[in-house]
Amino acid sequence: MNVKRGRLAIIIVLALGITASLYFVFIVRSRQQRIEQFNHAYEAIRVGDSRESVVAALGQPHKITNCPSYSGLPKMDAEFQSKCFQEFEYISFMARHTIYFDRNGVVIHKTIAVSP
Protein backbone atom coordinates (compact mmCIF):
# COMPACT_ATOMS: atom_id res chain seq x y z
CA MET A 1 0.00 0.00 0.00
CA ASN A 2 2.84 2.40 0.83
CA VAL A 3 4.55 1.62 -2.49
CA LYS A 4 1.36 2.55 -4.38
CA ARG A 5 1.10 5.84 -2.46
CA GLY A 6 4.76 6.59 -3.19
CA ARG A 7 4.28 5.96 -6.91
CA LEU A 8 1.11 8.03 -6.92
CA ALA A 9 2.93 10.89 -5.18
CA ILE A 10 5.75 10.72 -7.74
CA ILE A 11 3.24 10.74 -10.62
CA ILE A 12 1.41 13.73 -9.10
CA VAL A 13 4.65 15.65 -8.56
CA LEU A 14 5.79 14.92 -12.13
CA ALA A 15 2.42 15.95 -13.54
CA LEU A 16 2.48 19.19 -11.56
CA GLY A 17 6.05 19.87 -12.70
CA ILE A 18 5.18 19.29 -16.35
CA THR A 19 2.06 21.45 -16.04
CA ALA A 20 4.02 24.27 -14.38
CA SER A 21 6.71 24.08 -17.07
CA LEU A 22 4.18 24.22 -19.90
CA TYR A 23 2.41 27.15 -18.24
CA PHE A 24 5.72 29.02 -17.87
CA VAL A 25 6.60 28.41 -21.54
CA PHE A 26 3.15 29.62 -22.59
CA ILE A 27 3.46 32.81 -20.50
CA VAL A 28 6.96 33.60 -21.79
CA ARG A 29 5.96 32.97 -25.39
CA SER A 30 2.80 35.06 -25.05
CA ARG A 31 4.77 37.94 -23.55
CA GLN A 32 7.39 37.72 -26.29
CA GLN A 33 4.67 37.84 -28.96
CA ARG A 34 3.14 40.95 -27.37
CA ILE A 35 6.56 42.64 -27.26
CA GLU A 36 7.19 41.79 -30.91
CA GLN A 37 3.75 43.11 -31.92
CA PHE A 38 4.34 46.33 -29.98
CA ASN A 39 7.82 46.80 -31.52
CA HIS A 40 6.44 46.20 -35.01
CA ALA A 41 3.64 48.74 -34.43
CA TYR A 42 6.14 51.25 -33.00
CA GLU A 43 8.43 50.86 -36.01
CA ALA A 44 5.48 51.51 -38.34
CA ILE A 45 4.79 54.92 -36.76
CA ARG A 46 6.19 57.76 -38.86
CA VAL A 47 6.69 61.47 -38.46
CA GLY A 48 3.46 63.05 -39.64
CA ASP A 49 1.16 60.37 -38.18
CA SER A 50 -1.71 61.54 -36.00
CA ARG A 51 -2.05 61.08 -32.25
CA GLU A 52 -5.14 58.94 -32.91
CA SER A 53 -3.23 56.59 -35.19
CA VAL A 54 -0.52 56.19 -32.53
CA VAL A 55 -3.11 55.28 -29.89
CA ALA A 56 -4.80 52.92 -32.35
CA ALA A 57 -1.48 51.17 -33.02
CA LEU A 58 0.04 51.13 -29.52
CA GLY A 59 -2.88 51.63 -27.15
CA GLN A 60 -3.11 54.19 -24.38
CA PRO A 61 0.29 55.45 -23.23
CA HIS A 62 1.58 54.77 -19.74
CA LYS A 63 2.39 58.45 -19.30
CA ILE A 64 1.43 61.70 -21.05
CA THR A 65 3.48 64.80 -20.31
CA ASN A 66 4.54 68.13 -21.75
CA CYS A 67 7.76 68.03 -23.73
CA PRO A 68 10.95 68.22 -21.67
CA SER A 69 14.27 69.71 -22.66
CA TYR A 70 15.53 67.50 -25.46
CA SER A 71 19.28 67.51 -26.04
CA GLY A 72 21.21 69.78 -23.73
CA LEU A 73 22.15 71.94 -26.73
CA PRO A 74 20.39 75.31 -26.25
CA LYS A 75 19.77 75.98 -29.96
CA MET A 76 18.39 72.51 -30.59
CA ASP A 77 16.31 72.65 -27.40
CA ALA A 78 14.77 75.96 -28.41
CA GLU A 79 13.90 74.62 -31.87
CA PHE A 80 12.52 71.36 -30.50
CA GLN A 81 10.58 73.10 -27.71
CA SER A 82 9.02 75.49 -30.22
CA LYS A 83 7.59 72.49 -32.11
CA CYS A 84 7.00 69.97 -29.33
CA PHE A 85 3.77 70.13 -27.35
CA GLN A 86 3.22 66.70 -25.81
CA GLU A 87 4.92 63.35 -25.35
CA PHE A 88 3.49 59.86 -24.95
CA GLU A 89 5.58 57.35 -23.06
CA TYR A 90 5.15 53.60 -23.46
CA ILE A 91 7.08 51.39 -21.07
CA SER A 92 7.80 47.77 -21.84
CA PHE A 93 10.27 45.29 -20.44
CA MET A 94 13.60 47.15 -20.24
CA ALA A 95 12.58 49.76 -22.84
CA ARG A 96 10.91 53.14 -22.91
CA HIS A 97 9.34 54.27 -26.18
CA THR A 98 8.56 57.99 -26.40
CA ILE A 99 6.59 59.70 -29.13
CA TYR A 100 6.55 63.50 -29.43
CA PHE A 101 3.67 65.51 -30.89
CA ASP A 102 3.21 69.09 -32.01
CA ARG A 103 0.22 71.26 -31.04
CA ASN A 104 -1.83 69.75 -33.87
CA GLY A 105 -1.36 66.20 -32.56
CA VAL A 106 1.08 65.19 -35.28
CA VAL A 107 4.14 63.02 -34.58
CA ILE A 108 7.34 65.08 -34.85
CA HIS A 109 9.85 62.66 -33.33
CA LYS A 110 10.15 59.31 -31.54
CA THR A 111 12.82 57.67 -29.40
CA ILE A 112 13.64 54.38 -27.71
CA ALA A 113 15.66 54.12 -24.51
CA VAL A 114 16.74 50.58 -23.62
CA SER A 115 18.16 49.57 -20.25
CA PRO A 116 21.26 47.42 -20.37
Taking only the tens of pLDDT, the chain with its 116 residues reads 577 777 888 888 888 888 888 777 777 777 788 888 888 999 999 999 999 999 999 999 999 998 876 556 566 677 778 888 999 999 887 889 999 999 999 999 898 888 76
pTM equals: 0.71
* Cβ contacts of 62-71, under 8 Å, gap ≥ 24: 62/89, 62/90, 62/91, 63/88, 63/89, 63/91, 64/88, 64/89, 65/89, 67/100
